[in-house]
């Protein structure tokens, strides 16, 4: 029900504020974190980070605790890129979460051309409206809705929750997943999975990369958004403007470490660490 871990490469603030998750909030001495229909309480004293939950196996995997992040940091430093070395130093407490697949699909559809505080609000209202109420030692909460629940509402519902023009993207995708499931998306390579995700209305290259990276563990994905574009220009001296080419530039440079590197860079840049 409770386990602790060396805090050097597991800092709750870094993990939660780096932009990969939209459902968490300050709680007691740390944070309350929600994933699908589960929740946990995570906090640190600076030396050890503690996770308390009713499902330790789930959150052990969720926080990617089987992976050695000291190896990832040292590999990232081996690229000898100044901006990346700087990001590694400031953001070394980041870990890549293994999140719920369907939750990632809807969350990142909502994220497009949007800002993180507003994304959080929209997702929170969707959970309250359509999610199942769950008991927890830390207090009741609402689960992320199933695709069936999401498919039961029309675009107007999501519009009313502030989703804007993404309203039909949510309901269309929910209806498709309710009908098809997502099992056909499992056990695919990154390239194959991305190709499949691009067939959903509302999922483009960047959103697909985020879903691959955060929902399906495809660490060779490198999402390129407005912050990465800015960083590419300012810190890598890049001249390309086409996001697809910028994506290729980074993935061919960082290979299997692309996803980790992307998070270190994104977090350090966006949070101005």
Choices 4-12, 80-88, 116-124, 249-257; region in contact with DNA by CB under 7 A: 116-124
Q: Report d(CA 53, CA 95) in Å as an integer.
A: 18
Choices 35-43, 64-72, 133-141, 223-231; region in contact with DNA by CB under 7 A: 223-231
For residues 117 to 156, the per-residue mask of contacts with DNA, x marking binding by CB under 7 A and - elsewhere, is: xxx-------------------------------------
Please tell me whether residue 201 binds DNA under the rule CB under 7 A.
yes
Helix spans in 145-203 (H)? 147-151, 155-160, 167-180, 190-197
Residues 55-74 that bind DNA (CB under 7 A): none
Min separation Cβ 54 and DNA, Å: 27
Token pair, residue 79, equals 């690229």
CB count within 10 Å of CB 235 equals 17
Count of residues that interact with DNA, criterion CB under 7 A: 39
Please tell me whether residue 164 binds DNA under the rule CB under 7 A.
yes
Please tell me whether residue 230 binds DNA under the rule CB under 7 A.
yes
Q: Return the residue of 14, 16, 19, 151 that touches DNA, per CB under 7 A.
A: 19
Helix/strand/coil percentages in the chain, nearest 5? 55, 10, 35
Please tell me whether residue 165 binds DNA under the rule CB under 7 A.
yes
Min separation Cβ 125 and DNA, Å: 11
Q: Report d(CA 180, CA 60) in Å as an integer.
A: 30
CB count within 10 Å of CB 115 equals 8
Please tell me whether residue 178 binds DNA under the rule CB under 7 A.
no
Nearest-CA neighbor of 91 among 220, 231, 246?
231
DSSP secondary structure letter of residue 140: -
Min separation Cβ 108 and DNA, Å: 7
- In contact, 211 and 196? CB cutoff 8 Å: no
Q: Report d(CA 34, CA 207) in Å as an integer.
A: 21
Q: Return the residue of 12, 30, 93, 223 that touches DNA, per CB under 7 A.
A: 223
Token pair, residue 181, equals 């499931």
Please tell me whether residue 204 binds DNA under the rule CB under 7 A.
yes
Q: Interface residues with DNA (CB under 7 A)?
A: 18-20, 111-119, 159, 162, 164-165, 169, 200-208, 210, 223-228, 230, 242, 262-263, 266, 270
């Amino acid at each position: 029900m409770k386990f602790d871990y060396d805090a050097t490469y597991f800092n709750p603030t870094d993990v939660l504020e780096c932009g990969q998750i939209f459902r968490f909030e300050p709680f007691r001495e740390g944070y309350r974190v929600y994933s699908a229909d589960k929740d946990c309480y995570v906090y640190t004293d600076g030396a050890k980070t503690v996770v308390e939950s009713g499902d330790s196996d789930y959150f052990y995997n969720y926080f990617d605790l089987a992976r050695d992040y000291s190896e990832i940091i040292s590999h990232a430093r081996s690229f000898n890129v100044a901006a990346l070395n700087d990001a590694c130093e400031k953001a070394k407490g980041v870990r890549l979460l293994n999140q719920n697949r369907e939750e990632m699909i809807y969350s990142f559809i909502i994220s497009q051309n949007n800002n993180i505080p507003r994304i959080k609000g929209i997702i929170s209202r969707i959970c309250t409206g359509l999610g199942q109420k769950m008991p927890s030692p830390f207090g009741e909460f609402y689960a992320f809705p199933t695709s069936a629940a999401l498919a039961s509402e029309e675009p107007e519902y999501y519009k009313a929750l502030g989703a804007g023009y993404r309203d039909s993207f949510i309901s269309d995708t929910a209806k498709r997943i309710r009908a098809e499931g997502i099992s056909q998306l499992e056990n695919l390579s990154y390239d194959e999975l991305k190709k499949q995700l691009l067939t959903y209305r509302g999922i483009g290259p960047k959103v697909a990369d985020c879903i691959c990276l955060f929902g399906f563990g495809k660490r060779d994905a490198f999402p390129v958004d407005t912050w990465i574009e800015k960083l590419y220009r300012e810190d890598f001296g890049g001249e390309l403007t086409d996001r697809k080419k910028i994506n290729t530039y980074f993935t061919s440079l960082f290979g299997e470490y692309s996803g980790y590197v992307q998070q270190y860079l994104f977090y350090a840049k966006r949070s101005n660490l």
